[in-house]
A and B are shown apart, each in its own frame.
Chain A
Amino acid sequence: MANLRHLIASRRRGPSLSVRAVLYLFLLLGSVAMVAPFLWMVSTSLKTRDEVFRYPPLLWPSQPRWINYIEALQYASFGRYFLNSLIISTTRTVGVVFFATLAGFALAKLRFRGRNLIFYGIIATMMVPYVINIVPVYMLLSRLRWPGPWLDSYWGVIVPQLGNAFGIFLMRQFMRDLPSELIEAARMDGCSEFRIFWQIALPLSTPALSALAIFTFVSTWNDFTWPLIVLNSESMKTIPLGIATFSSPWSNLRAYEMAVTTLACLPAFLVFVVFRRQFTEGIALTGLKG
């Protein structure tokens, strides 16, 4: 009894006030460190040339110079970068999600010879560091000529990344827990295997599906390595490629640079704000199952 009372009291008490204060301070300082660089970016993007170079540094410009954004865009075809990023990210996401769920479904629910062998083979490629593939994939793409040259093209970036071992793994693990009786019953009723996949398995897998879609989209949107290697003309550049090579011939370079960087951060930030829960829950899903 005494033990129990002690237990209740200690739980209500928790750590002392000073310990709590220190821990809150720790979390707050960390949060400031996370956000401050972004605020500095926006602040710089709104400064005049003089304000950019002022010492001590000016935390926020007295009169935000919005025209920096318009001037900066003269040196970066940002609309074009945005369009390229959107086309590449959307297409790759649709492709990866479709092929990964299809394969994941087969590996989880359909019985055929060599199923486990194929599954472990796919998992093994998850461990392959991509660094070894850069040169050979480039050489392969430089040889492909149909329906047009693959280097410096959308499909040159998209197609080599359509097979996604991680996606297949994720979907297979998730779909394994779907009720087999349901699938069996549908099969008895004469449903084709594709209809079982499309109308039963797919709708029941939306949590894993949306997590995979969001991860694929954001990682493609932010990807730098493959676009850098495959694309080279200005009109094909994605946003990361465009801003990494941004330069303006004169004057307020740092402000322009930060204006363009702000524009680059905006879409990812909006996606994150809208899908915040799917992000964290999706990561929990991959982390626990991985």
Chain B
Amino acid sequence: MAAAVRGLWRWLGLHRSEARAGYLFVAPGTLFILVFVFVPMVAGLVLSLFHWDMLTSPIFMGLRNFRMLLDDPLFLAALRNTFYFACVSAPIAVGFGLVLAIVINEPWIRGKTAFSTIYFIPVVMSMVAAALIWRWIYDSQFGLLNALFKLMGLPPQMWLVDPQWAVPAMMVVSIWKTVGYNLVIYLAGLQGIPGTLYEAAKIDGASRTRQLLHITLPLLRPTTLFVTVMAMIQSFQTLDLVYVFVGERGPDQNSILAVYDIYLTAFRSYRMGYASAQAVVMFFSIMVFTSLLVKLFSEQTE
């Protein structure tokens, strides 16, 4: 026994103070991640197989929670809305960020810092504050947007309730709030492209469009992947925006997003197992989606 411990001690190199310090320094940060990220992740997967209301003891359900998901109109609507929301708003926000960065990076543009600062303001504000402002703009009776519509002779809309507008209304807020972040990352990416490449292209007589297509965009591909994956993961897990938009009315199939449904299932209905099953579906959706993105991008590079 003592010999085994001594063997392990030597194998880990714990007689060296450098290795001892290494383990000691890594321990706290790793431990927090282990206890509050890794273990809960496994627990979430296990929990999705149970029925548990937190009061009585958990009952094993097998995959029945997942069968029930298929007959849950609110969750299916939430899933559909979330995919629609993420797959439209994230690419648009990335695209706008890219275009803005390319324009601001032009050598003749004045006020580069001023522009990137202004576009960054919504990024630093809390989503709750942004959602409150936009909820007031979208107000069906006295909101700014419908007032503008009226001035232009267009019929007012119930932006937050209408099945056609509820999700797009959230997309606008999300795009408005994340464009500045993408812009700043793209600007950094653009500044990392060596100027000599453009000089060479100019001498060869390449037009500005060709330079953009054959130098700028290919070299920005890693940046685009990073920004898109981040935007996707974030929009798939949007909670604050929909919480504020739906808050006064209660959820309906037109406006609910997945994480909000999970929140309601867990903390309003106390169906912990079922909520975990919903979370597992979201979890794998996001994982599959991001790995597809990574694959798509790495194939194009070859």
On whether the beta carbons of B142 and A53 are closer than 8 Å, the reply is: yes
A213 surroundings in chain B (CB, below 8 A): none
Q: Decide if the interface of chain A is mainly helix, strand, loop or mixed.
A: helix
Partner of B188, one of A33, A37, A133, A284: A284
Contacting residue for B133 out of A41, A131, A221, CB 8 A:
A41
Does B217 sit within 8 A of A, measured CB to CB? Answer: no
Q: Tell me whether B262 and A131 are in contact (CB under 8 A).
A: yes
Residues of B within 8 Å of A284, CB to CB, are: 184-185, 187-188, 191
**Which residue in chain A gives the minimum CB-CB distance to B266?**
A135
Q: Which of A40, A218, A257, A261 contacts B144, CB < 8 Å?
A: A40
Q: Tell me the count of chain B residues lying within 8 A, CB to CB, of chain A.
A: 107
Contact A279 B120 (CB under 8 A): yes
**How far apart are B123's CB and chain A's nearest CB, in angstroms?**
9
Rounded to whole angstroms, the CA-CA distance of A111 and B262 in the bound complex is 43
- Interface check B275, CB cutoff 8 A: yes
Which of A67-75, A160-168, A202-210 faces chain B?
A: A160-168
Least Cβ distance of B243 to chain A in Å? 6
- Interface check A80, CB cutoff 8 A: no
B22 close to A131 (CB less than 8 A) = no
B239/A224 in contact, CB under 8 A = yes
Say yes or no for A290: interface residue by CB 8 A criterion.
yes
Contacts of A240 in B (CB 8 A): 126-129, 240
Chain A residues near B106: list those with CB within 8 A.
14-15, 23
CB distance from B94 to the nearest CB of A (A): 13
A56 on the interface (CB 8 Å rule)? yes
Tell whether, in the assembled complex, residue A37 and residue B137 are in contact, meaning their CB atoms are under 8 Å apart.
yes
Q: How far is the CB of A255 from chain B (nearest CB, A)?
A: 10
Known: A134-B266, A243-B129. A280 touches B116 (CB 8 A): yes
Interface string of A79-120 (1 = CB under 8 A from B): 000000000000000000001101101110011110100100
B29, CB-defined interface residue at 8 Å: yes
Per-residue interface assignment for chain A, residues 236 to 267, with 1 indicating a CB less than 8 Å from any chain B CB and 0 otherwise: 00011101110000000010011001001100
- B147 and A140: CB pair below 8 A? no
A194 on the interface (CB 8 Å rule)?
yes
Q: How far is the CA of A7 from the CA of B107 in the complex (A)?
A: 15
Interface string of B274-302 (1 = CB under 8 A from A): 01100110110011001000000000000
- Nearest residue, chain A, Cβ from B121: A34
Q: How far apart are A281's CB and chain B's nearest CB, in angstroms?
A: 9
A133/B41 contact (C-beta < 8 A), A112-B12, A287-B185 known: yes
**Chain A residues with CB under 8 A of B184:** 279-280, 283-284, 287
B169, CB-defined interface residue at 8 Å = no
Closest to B40 in A: A136
Measured CB to CB, the closest approach of chain B to A11, in angstroms, equals 8
Complex Cα gap A187–B116 (Å): 45
What are 7 A-to-B residue pairs whose CB atoms are below 8 Å? A37-B130, A129-B287, A133-B40, A139-B272, A164-B29, A193-B18, A264-B128
